[in-house]
Amino acid sequence: MRPYCAAIRRAYFLAMVEFTLALGDPAATAQFGRALAARLRAGDVVALSGPLGAGKTTLARAIIGELTTASEAPSPTFTLVETYEAKDFALHHFDLYRLEKADDVFELGYEDALDGVCLIEWPERIERLLPADTLVIRLAMDGAARRALVRGAGDWRQRLAGLNPA
């Protein structure tokens, strides 16, 4: 049984995609968000990590704007979660910066939110609760510009085709 499990694990990680995008300004970050939005479907979790000011909320707002009719997408820093209706699923935008304990996320409806699409800022707060096929986007400052390290397993390699500059 062990070789079979190891083979599945190996195949899963061979399907992993990882690449870096240069995001010259907030408009480039928003453009990336809109392109990513077109590839999202129910059950997806997108973890947006990086320091304050790296562009997590800009990226999330672009995704929300592309998938919903919301004219504004307030940062859920104080409410911790905002929910929007997209065409085919509910879209949940979590900002876990103020979350005290990982298990507190369940009080925010996290389990039910996994049926839709979850955008999670500060995912480090619930790292052990994230699905294995979470798409992780680590944003970093690069002078006035930003960089995005994009990493995902499962079918993300195929779904992100065209976004990878390599």
Q: Quick one: tokens of 151? A: 């990493």
CATH class of 17-159: alpha beta
- Residue that is written with structure tokens 């307030």 in the block: 74
Mean pLDDT, rounded, for 43-47:
98
Please state the pTM of the whole predicted model: 0.87
User: 23: which strand partners?
Assistant: 146
Residue 108 CB burial class (10 angstroms; 0-12, 13-18, ≥19)? middle
- Any residues with CB less than 8 A from the CB of 30 and at least 6 apart, and which? 58, 59, 61, 62
The mean predicted confidence, pLDDT, of the chain is 87
- pLDDT per residue as tens digits for the range 98-149: 999 999 999 999 999 999 999 999 999 999 999 999 999 999 998 888 999 9
